[in-house]
Amino acid sequence: MKGRAAVVAVCAAAVAARAWLAFVAPPSVDLESYGIVADIVRSGAPLYESTHRYNYSPVWSWMLRGLNGVARSTGLSLSETVRSALLLSDLATAVLLFRIAGRRRGVAPWTAAALFLANPVGIWVSSVQGQFDGLSLFFLLAAIAVSSPIPDGAKRNHALFPALLLAVSMMIKQVTALHPILWMRRKSAALAMLGAYLLVALLFLPYAAQWRAIARHVLLYRAVPRSYGLSELVLWDARWALPVSILALAAAAIAAWRLRFADYARGSLVVFLVLLFFAPGLGAQYLIWPLTVGALFAGAGYFAFTAAGTLWILGSHFGLPGSGRYMGHLVWLSVGFWLLREARALSRATLREPAEAQPAPPGASPLTQGSLAK
């Protein structure tokens, strides 16, 4: 009982810290970009042709228009309004993690919520930087929740609802663009996931006249190169950006395909880790991709990655010596460490549960056949 009270207290303190930072932290470059986009939308100017600082589907611009209206009517700044909205999103994510963890073995529900809310990387990205990746990740978690085993041991087999949730996730931000592959276990599910991609594509139809700007700013968007893993090649010669990007996407897509029959949460985590390991660049917001799903598993990989990410973010922000040159590579090494641990976990699941696993459909990866029972 005392342990639970302590974890609940951690959650409350983390929420208070997030709320405080939402109002006292200075506007970030990202929040300044949101202001530019909100003005463009309000003026009726072409969204994608008017700025190179908008790299997403139209949905976030619509949300910014609404948030800008709230800011004007309440007297708050747009930065404060966006951060407050992201805090509400993070609270909803914590509730969802609590519910998912309650149906799984391993991390306790309150612990999963506390790991997410109190993670220093997540606090920075949401309450200081104001990045909205977490909102997209909420809908990924929702898809995992409706696809996971339910208490009576039955399974939800209909793929339509997860497909809709994944479509919304991609509409908000394309960070989950490869995750629908994890749900393509059957032909009907594959068709539903292709429908999710189609829904996202249809969003751009009203903006078709701006297709060149969309291709340049959205489809061909490139991460900022850093001293981080393979991104070092891009810093050395910018021509490496395209091949490294293709490698990252291909590796993550292959991982998703081979993990179609694994536990959805662990598969989602591994896809994010593979993307980060081969990434041609790095941003602080990228770090919350695996950390959000990873709150369901915790472990040495989670904590090593959190520590390395926190050092890199704070070192870069405060200009600590060596932060730009070496700490990024420390993050990359922690990604590799976490990825190896997750590969071992998948292998152990295969050996531990052969009798419980359902027969895998043709083409299932031998590595993940034993995870079907999850």
Chain segment 161-207, per-residue pLDDT in tens:
999 999 999 999 999 999 999 999 999 999 999 999 999 999 999 99
> Which range, of 10-24, 121-135, 303-317, 321-335, averages the lowest pLDDT?
321-335
Compute how many other C-beta atoms are within 10 angstroms of the C-beta atom of residue 1. Answer: 5
Say if 264 falls within a structural domain: yes
**How far is C-alpha 223 from the chain's CA centre?**
15
Say if 137 falls within a structural domain: no
Per-residue pLDDT at 1 exceeds 70: no
pLDDT digits (tens, 9 = 90+) for 84-119: 999 999 999 999 999 999 999 889 999 999 999 999
Say if 233 falls within a structural domain: yes
Give the residue carrying structure tokens 């908000």: 172
pLDDT digits (tens, 9 = 90+) for 316-374: 888 888 777 789 999 999 999 999 999 999 988 766 654 444 444 544 543 444 333 33
Please give the model's pTM, rounded to 2 decimal places.
0.90
> What span, in angstroms and rounded, lies between the C-alpha atoms of 112 and 110?
5
pLDDT score at 156: 54
Full domain range(s) for residue 307 = 222-374
Say if 71 falls within a structural domain: no
Say if 329 falls within a structural domain: yes
Say if 325 falls within a structural domain: yes
| Cα 110 to Cα 65, 92, 140, 296, distances in angstroms | 35, 14, 20, 10
Say if 49 falls within a structural domain: no
What percent of the chain is predicted at pLDDT more than 90? 81
pLDDT score at 155: 52
Domain count, the chain: 1
Average pLDDT over residues 29-39: 96
Contact 142, 106 (CB under 8 A): no
pLDDT score at 264: 95
pLDDT score at 358: 45
> What span, in angstroms and rounded, lies between the C-alpha atoms of 121 and 146?
27
> What span, in angstroms and rounded, lies between the C-alpha atoms of 277 and 65?
35
Say if 318 falls within a structural domain: yes
